Every structure is written in structure tokens, then in C-alpha cells.
Amino acid sequence: MSPDLSQQLEELQSQLLGFVISSGVPRSLAGDVLQEANLYIVRNIAEKFQGGNFRAWVYQVVKFRIMSHYRDHSRNKEFQLEEETLDNLCVEFENQSSYTSQQTDALKQCLAKLPEKSRSLFEKCYAFGYSLQEIADSQGKSYAALAKQISRIRQKIKTCTTSLIN
């Protein structure tokens, strides 16, 4: 895989994970589904990707891995996903432009400006997926106090990113 395509794939990871989770795959299994897709992409890019829109091809690979996940877990009938629904979701995620590179760069800069304690708390909540209750319990704080602290951190980040973008 060329360094350029490798970098593009790396930059897509959070969006792809969001796509997998949005398709209804449980969060506990979403990383596995994405890892299977990444493995397929790396192993088969030379043979299967014939140029063109790399991002669209990657989303198609992930879509088929999601479908494979549902096929393999079809014993659990409580959730069935129609291919058309998954296609619509795939198109929506492919076209999503809410995080431009400018916004991403601003977010990275603003996170770097946060005090270590605030950044760590923010990462536990948003990067590692811990619930506020889990974090509050581990720190011996009330849920309300932690929610307020996270709210303040989010407001600082919002103010910072807005000032950098505008």
C-alpha cells in the first residue's frame, strides 16, 4: 500500500468506526468489524482497488464487512439490517463533510492547549468511550459534578476551535 493511501486510510478510521457503530453493530464488536475491514483492505488493495475514489472503495469494503457480521450473527434475530438501509448509511457517511481538515486541525490544536487533567478526562469520555457514570465512580465524584466539568471542557474546546477557524 502506498504511503498516501495508507495515510488516507488512517485518517478515515474514526469516521469508519462511526459508520460501523451507526449501522447497529454493538460498540463492543465495532472495532473488530473495522479491524477485519482494514485487514482486507491492506491485503487486497493491489488486487482489488483499481484506482479511482479510494474513500468510496474503503466504505464499500466496510459495508460488506458489516453485512458479513450480520450474516454471521444471524442467529440473533432481534436486529436485521436491510442492505438498502446500509447503502443509504454508507452514502451519508461518504458524503459527510462535517469535519474538514481545517476543523480537525483546529480541534487537535485546542486539545493540545487543554491542561493534562482536562485532556485526560475528555479522552476517557470521547476517545475511550467510558460513560460519565464510570468515570465519576472511578474518581469518587458525583455524576452531576463530572457532567458539569465535561460541559466546561467542551465549551472551552468549542470557543477555541471557533476562534481558530474564523
**Domain shared by 81 and 133, yes or no:** no
Rounded to a whole number of angstroms, the CA Rg of the chain reads 19
Number of domains comprising the chain: 2
With residues binned 3-state (H G I as helix, E B as strand, rest as coil), the percentages for the chain, rounded to 5, are: 80, 0, 20
Residue with cell string 448509511:
89
Pair (9, 78) in one structural domain? yes
> What pLDDT sits at residue 98?
45
Domain enclosing residue 145, as ranges: 101-165
Q: Are residues 135 and 57 in the same domain?
A: no
Do 120 and 161 fall into the same domain?
Answer: yes
Whole-structure pTM value = 0.50
CATH number at residue 141: 1.10.10.10
119 and 54, same structural domain? no
Q: Are residues 81 and 8 in the same domain?
A: yes
Q: What's the pLDDT score for residue 156?
A: 93
For residue 114, what are the contacts with CB-CB under 8 A and spacing of at least 6? 122, 153, 156, 157
24 and 83 assigned to the same domain:
yes
pLDDT digits (tens, 9 = 90+) for 67-80: 888 877 765 555 55
Residue 90 sits in the same domain as residue 116: no
Instruction: Using the predicted structure, report yes or no on whether residue 25 has a pLDDT greater than 60.
Output: yes
pLDDT exceeds cutoff 70 at 82: no
Q: Confidence band (pLDDT; 50, 70, 90) for 97?
A: very low
Is there a single domain that holds both residue 8 and residue 64? yes
